[in-house]
A and B are shown apart, each in its own frame.
Chain A
Amino acid sequence: MKKKLSVPVVWKIAVRNLIEHKTKTLIIGAIVAVGMLVLILGNALLDTATAGIRENYIENFTGNVILSGKTEDGITFFPFEQMMSDSSESPITPDYFELKEYLDGSDMVASWSPLISGMATMMFSDDIMMPTQVFGVDIEKYREVFPDNMELLDGRLLTPGESGIMLSTTAVALFKQANGRSPEAGDMIELMAMTDRAGMKIDELPYVGSFTFRNAETNPMLPMICMTDYNSLRSMLGMNLAEETVLLSSEEESIIGDFADEEIFSSAGDSGGGLFADVMADEGTNTAETLFAEIGDRSDVESLYLEDSGEWNFVTVKLVGGVTSKAAIKAFTEDVSLSGWDIQVNNWIDGAGGQARMTYTLKTVFNIIILIIAVVAVIIIMNTLVVSITERIPEIGTIRAIGGRKSFVRKMIVSETFMITFVFGIIGILGAVLILAGLNAKGLHFENIFLRMLLGGSVLNPVISLKTLLLDLAGIVFIGGAASLYPTAVALRIRPVTAMQSN
């Protein structure tokens, strides 16, 4: 009963104290408000950066988790970057069909889409050729994972099952240079690729439209990517071919491997017949005409083409909300190794390219700095509170001398602090919201590519969630309470008389 009563009494006293010591209240309040403001602005920038990176990478082209074939060299979605490193070709996702079932059945996976990433040369005219990066996609699945990553500039998107190409802005520019006009529906785009597997491949794909990735200005690789249906790109890169065995004649077989100089020129090691061989074609055997028979029948070649080879470079996975990449990577890695698949599970950042990693590094530095600022703000607030309470030691002594209980004093001071921090915390929040609104309205614009990547676009649109606001407020109120505990405890340890004497 007594306890119940004491609470309102303490609160009443606290409020009266605060009002009476108006100046002091305002002073402490001001630092709390400023601290709050800084915390919220810092958090807003962090949230914006996180959202920006999410928007620029995860929602734009990497998904949350990337599955690939095993490789030592690290993966990248951008073949140009690969060309610079020594790894020759993108790893290929094996065991695709089993993986497919696994992903469809996983409750962590919201959607997933396989991807082929390759390089081809666009032949616009005799003089204008352009090596380009091409994504080969199953457009239906791709749009499931990335419903909003492409901005159509002309024409339309690929439709499921359609064979065609969507040009990047750089490709469109070169097309214009070659033809003196923009590409139109019905134009054919010639592509050439050279690979070990398929040799020289040439294809013409109908122009479907031109597009740009959202926030393409944040990544110099993005404006260079064209998009085709996966079947066309697969066949360009020989990813639709069945394994071929090398058949050697016995004579050819005998030469394989190492040999000594002497040995190969001695009759024992020699294939026999001395230095001269008859290599002349028999009359009419190797002529223009005979080749028709040898090459013309392509049924054996046709048998090499697989309807669906299941070969992809990557599988991008978008996770169900609430599932972290970390958890998903752990689960996938376990399941993959259990199933014995030759698959590597990568975080989105691994495939996002060098620039993304640079941005991410920068973001880490940025986070640390904001954290330090927050800590500083908190410490300064605490210090102010400590000073204010230290100055009240005589007052505390007086209260104690006239019979105030320790618990009463403590409750009084803690409630005062709570009130100050709460009220001024809210004022700080209001100030921060005003500043953020101002920033959003004014639309701070920057050219710097890292700031663009970091903050999710060329215009700063800081965001802040209610959750963060409430957390910050709770945090500062808690800090206020905690900050007042220690000096109060110190003050209470002092005997009332001493406390009154000290100034």
Chain B
Amino acid sequence: MQIFKIALRNTSRQVRRTSLLSGAIAFGIMIIILLNSFTNGLTENVKENVSRALAGHIYITASEVTQGGIEVARVSDDGVILEAVESSGIEYTSVSHRTSFTGTLSLGSKKTEERVTGIDVAEEQMLLDSLVVKEGSIEAFLADGHSIILSEGLARSIRAEVGDEVLIRLVTQTGQNNLGEFTLGVILPDEGSFGSDRAYAHLGYVNELVNMPADASETINITLVDMEDTSEAALRLISELEKTVEIQDAAEQREAMMNSDGATGAVIDAMRDSMGIEDETDAEGEADNGQRGFGGGAPPMMGPAGRGGMFGAGITRSSLPPGTVTFKLNTIDDYTGAISQLVSTLNYIGYGVFAVLLLITMVGITNTYRMMMLERIKEIGTMRAMGVHRKQVRRIFLYEAGITAFIGAAAGLIVSLVIMLVTGLLSFPEAGDFTMLLDSGHPGYSMNPGVTVGLFIIIVLFSMLAASNPAGKAARVAPAEALRTTK
């Protein structure tokens, strides 16, 4: 204890040295934490943004045969799914209902075709919070059931401004013409090549337009606690659902989960879908009305459902008896070949950066310590001459090193936290291609507590290690000899 106090006093007396050393450590730690949190943040943001845009990780659709014998993509009874989700024991954060349709947006003589997604605002707070608003306000959207959110490119293509009435022409699930009257509530900035054009409306109104019961939806989306668990969770869900309902191509879907394909496959599939070309394995592509495609690798393939070819209006007749329901599962992996590769690229970069920075910092710090110890041999000699034991001398220096390192590391942590906090407030609402890497337009950091604690331990240990060798050496030197040394 006495020795610890001496060490403490030493550090506080030698302000310049202590501050130089701990400053170096603080800087190193700060940069490591910042960059590590930043690259982690990038990864997290990409994942978050993707799962937000696609509304989760697992998408359940069902094809129901109506009384008229038409196959529609509709989940009328979500109870069976919710039960299966519970009983499968998968770890999820939310379940949301969405319905989408592809329609012609028009204003005056301008028109454009786009997929409009109906969201349940009560379930999608996360999405709404994450939207960067360029014009208008989310409150206005929430207040009006006929309000619509459009990305800038879409709004521009029909020359619409906030408050304008946008007409959307569509066909209901059974083939009836319908027209939605929307008020443009929010314009979102364009997301460059990462994000597709986006259009969100209220689920209630969208259901009404596609002529679907208010409590039904086209898809049920499950957001998992961890995106990495997607395949496994989907497999469990399939097994659970299979007990009670009909799953389409269960075996095939299992297979797909196990080897989720890369970007190229997705592009070709999307292409085929959009052109109305279907191979045998995707014969029931109609149920697959989810949010197809994302980003450059698996690009958004909108447009009317591929069915019907040259003459049809996109209505599918079913040979199955009315009332038949077949469920189908899709996962985020089906759409994000490119995105998951992007995520792992960011991860690689993150690990590389971490390793390199740690190396530089450690070499820098240990070297500085060793050098300082050499310079202090005289001091050690004095102490020894005054009758301090070798062991004690060694300990004094070890503790000193440890204290300096700890102060430095703590300072580094604090500074990095402050920097993260401040830069986190920076807003880049129109970051274009970078939007995907940001958290609602802000740089996002994600600090790993384990890594941080590990860093502290490593830094303190290495500093002590760096000090121990020269300290020991110095302690072994005869006092008189040490006093004469002028290194």
Contacts and interface: CB of A to CB of B under 8 A. Distances in A.
Complex contact flag A–B (Cβ < 8 Å)? yes
A449 B349 contact: no
Contact of B367 (A31, A81, A129, A503): A31
A221 B348 contact: no
B385 interface: no
Interface in A384-431: 384, 386-388, 390-391, 395
Given A23-B374, A24-B371, A383-B24, A355 B338 contact: yes
B275 interface: yes
Contacts of A7: none
A358 B194 contact: yes
B262 A449 contact: yes
B297 A355 contact: yes
Contacts, number: 171
A390 B17 CA distance: 9
B297 to A, nearest CB: 6
A388 B368 CA distance: 8
B53 to A, nearest CB: 15
Interface centre among A21, A81, A384, A387 (most CB of B within 10 A): A387
Interface residues of A, number: 60
Given A358-B193, A381-B364, A390 B487 contact: no
- Among A121, A224, A373, max chain B CB count under 10 A is at A373
Interface in A247-264: none
Contact of B263 (A27, A129, A130, A449): A449
B157 interface: yes
Nearest to A41: B356
Centre residue among A28, A86, A170 by max chain B CB count within 10 A: A86
Nearest to A121: B275
B357 A220 contact: no
B483 to A, nearest CB: 12
A244 B349 CA distance: 57
Contact of A451 (B24, B300, B345): B345
Interface stretch (A156-164, A329-337, A361-369): A361-369
Interface in B344-385: 344-346, 348-349, 353, 356-357, 359-361, 363-364, 367-368, 370-372, 374-375, 378-379
A365 B434 CA distance: 9
Contacts of B262: 449
Residue among B262, B363, B367, B378 having the largest count of chain A Cβ atoms under 10 Å: B367
B277 interface: yes
A27 B469 CA distance: 14
Contacts of A369: 35, 39, 349, 353
A354 interface: yes
Given A24-B374, A358-B194, A360-B433, A372 B359 contact: no
Given A358-B193, A381-B364, A454 B300 contact: no
A387 B21 contact: yes
A165 interface: no
B437 interface: yes
B474 to A, nearest CB: 12
B157 A448 contact: no
B42 interface: yes
A380 B20 contact: no
Contacts of B156: 72
Interface string A121-135: 100000001110000
A23 B487 contact: yes
Nearest to A72: B156
A361 B375 CA distance: 48
The number of chain B residues touching the other chain, given as a range, is 35 or more
A109 interface: no
A129 B275 CA distance: 10
Contacts of A373: 35, 353, 356-357, 360
Contacts of B23: 383
B239 to A, nearest CB: 30
Contacts of A23: 370, 374, 487
A28 B375 CA distance: 14
B274 A380 contact: no
Nearest to A22: B487
Contacts of B341: 448-450
B295 interface: yes
B342 A388 contact: no
B16 interface: yes
B118 interface: no
A252 to B, nearest CB: 21
Interface of B: 16-17, 20-21, 23-24, 27-28, 31, 35, 39, 42, 112-114, 156-157, 192-194, 196-197, 262-264, 267-268, 271, 274-275, 277, 293, 295-297, 299-302, 338, 341-342, 344-346, 348-349, 353, 356-357, 359-361, 363-364, 367-368, 370-372, 374-375, 378-379, 433-434, 436-437, 486-487
29 contacts: A21-B487, A28-B371, A31-B367, A34-B359, A38-B360, A80-B267, A80-B299, A81-B299, A83-B274, A84-B274, A86-B113, A131-B277, A170-B268, A220-B263, A221-B267, A354-B297, A355-B338, A358-B296, A358-B433, A365-B349, A369-B349, A373-B35, A376-B357, A380-B24, A384-B364, A384-B368, A384-B371, A387-B20, A450-B338
Given A27-B371, A84-B293, A86-B113, 7 more contacts: A23-B487, A72-B156, A81-B296, A86-B112, A358-B342, A449-B263, A450-B345
Q: Which 3 pairs between the two chains have the least Cβ-Cβ distance?
A: A354-B296, A380-B364, A354-B193
